[in-house]
Amino acid sequence: MRQTIGSMNLPLVLHALEFATEKHRGQVRKDADATPYIQHPIALASLLWEVGVHDAEVLAAAILHDTIEDTPTTHTELEEKFGRAVADLVAEVTDDKREPKAVRKQKQIDHAAHLSTGARLVKLADKICNLRDVANSPPADWPIERRREYFEWARAVVERIPEKHPKLAALFDDAYAAKP
């Protein structure tokens, strides 16, 4: 029997949290404090929840958004565990790490205009959380110029996203205003 809270499938979200925690075990963010990586996907899902996004598949995808990119997880594995919709959302926001960084960054800009509604939400939440992190607790080896370049690149990605969620768009603007 599928358990829900209201119309939300909470077990799906909790399973995604458990899965992502295991997959990101031992990974840390680039900040000086080496924050456990799992805090980043949790921040995305929390942000989405706070602005009224209560779709379990979108929240699960937010939690899982870096598993294909940063762990040995495959699309097939996500599809088997979370369903095709979640796996496809994660795939939409995943970079191919085999490509050079400059190519990946340009592809994010180019692809932003073609994201599905759910992927737009995850992408925007990711950019907001990343800008907040770069502003408040930047990677130790990132000089001010690199931080500024990151902000400009994130803005270029977000500008290409059509039909932005109004609250997320406002939060992005607030985060961008903290540009170093």
Catalytic residues: 69-70
List C-alpha distances in Å: 78 to 103, 150, 168.
25, 29, 26
Which residues are CB-contacts of 41 (< 8 A; sequence separation ≥ 6)?
20, 24, 62, 63, 64, 65, 66
CA atoms within 13 A on the CB side of 102: 0
Helix (H) or strand (E) holding 115: none
Among 61, 71, 45, 49, which residue's Cα sits nearest to residue 129?
A: 45
Angle, vertex CA 20, rays to CA 36 and CA 141, nearest 5: 35
Side chain identity at 166, as an amino acid letter? Answer: P
Which residues are CB-contacts of 45 (< 8 A; sequence separation ≥ 6)?
13, 17, 59, 62, 63, 125
